[in-house]
């Protein structure tokens, strides 16, 4: 009887316990991929974070060199074989309440670094071109602009590879030799011009710079890996 009484007291005590309401709070992690400056968001866009290096093919490379020698003086060879294509881009988001125009007509080359060194670029002009009206797009409030560049990964020799970029203004950029491994990439956007001369198929126009965003911003680094395709 004593045991039953204790069980009854426990049951009654449980019923008398107050109910405590609680909820789980999930902390939002900060977005380190986008840098916001003066109400403008800048982001590095890399669709493929793992880049496949081209397979080594000495025969293909020799044939390309031979063909390049045949057409030298008439057409500049684009890049050595074998190669693979990838894309890298810069996204700009206009979070301000006014329309703003941005300058994609200047040289916009990504910064590429390893853990302990920066990869340098060597460039030369293939054909000089003036800036076009399309090089200065307008972003309305809340709109975003994305500027993509094609990057070509090509085999040099042994375990060395290179990156090749053709800029819209006719410059051809080639990186220092790379090896398989981890790299970090970002863009530095610079515009100091308030008045820009634009070219179209009809006439030449000078655009007032009152709606241009002026400044210099380096986007956050994005990690990429160059791996073997074999």
Specify the higher pLDDT residue, 161 or 31. 161
Q: Which region among 70-74, 127-131, 135-139, 194-198 has the lowest average model confidence (pLDDT)?
A: 70-74
Peptide bond into 127 cis (omega under 30): no
Q: What is the average per-residue pLDDT within 203-208?
A: 53
The most confident of the ranges 22-36, 144-158, 194-208, 214-228 is: 214-228
Specify the higher pLDDT residue, 75 or 163. 163
CB 184 within 8 A of CB 118: no
- Whole-model pTM: value is 0.71
Band (119; pLDDT cuts 50, 70, 90):
very high
The most confident of the ranges 31-40, 41-50, 58-67, 198-207 is: 41-50
Q: Measuring CA to CA, how many Å separate 19 from each of 15, 161, 162?
A: 10, 66, 66
Predicted local confidence at residue 1, as pLDDT: 46
Token pair 């179209």 in the structure block, residue: 200
How many other C-beta atoms are found inside a 10 Å radius of the C-beta of residue 216? Answer: 10
Q: How far apart are CA 155 and CA 53, in angstroms?
A: 8
């Amino acid at each position: 009887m004593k045991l039953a009484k204790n069980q009854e007291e426990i049951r009654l005590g449980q019923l008398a316990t107050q109910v405590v309401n609680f909820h789980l709070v999930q902390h939002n992690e900060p977005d380190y991929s986008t840098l916001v400056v003066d109400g403008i968001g800048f982001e590095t866009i890399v669709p493929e974070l793992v880049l496949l290096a081209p397979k080594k093919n000495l025969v293909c490379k020799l044939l390309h060199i031979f063909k390049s020698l045949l057409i030298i003086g008439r057409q500049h060879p684009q890049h050595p074989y074998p190669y693979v294509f990838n894309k890298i881009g810069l996204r700009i988001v206009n979070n301000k309440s006014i329309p703003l125009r941005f300058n994609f007509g200047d040289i916009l080359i990504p910064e590429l670094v390893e853990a302990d060194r920066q990869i340098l670029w060597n460039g030369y002009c293939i054909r000089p071109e003036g800036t076009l009206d399309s090089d200065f797009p307008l972003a309305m409030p809340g709109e975003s602009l994305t500027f993509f560049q094609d990057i070509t990964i090509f085999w040099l020799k042994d375990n060395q590879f290179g990156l090749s970029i053709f800029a819209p203004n006719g410059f051809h950029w080639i990186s220092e030799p790379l090896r398989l491994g981890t790299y970090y990439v970002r863009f530095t956007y610079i515009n100091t011009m308030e008045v820009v001369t634009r070219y179209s198929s009809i006439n030449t126009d000078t655009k007032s710079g009152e709606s241009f965003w002026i400044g210099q911003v380096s986007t956050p680094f994005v990690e990429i890996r160059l791996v073997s395709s074999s």
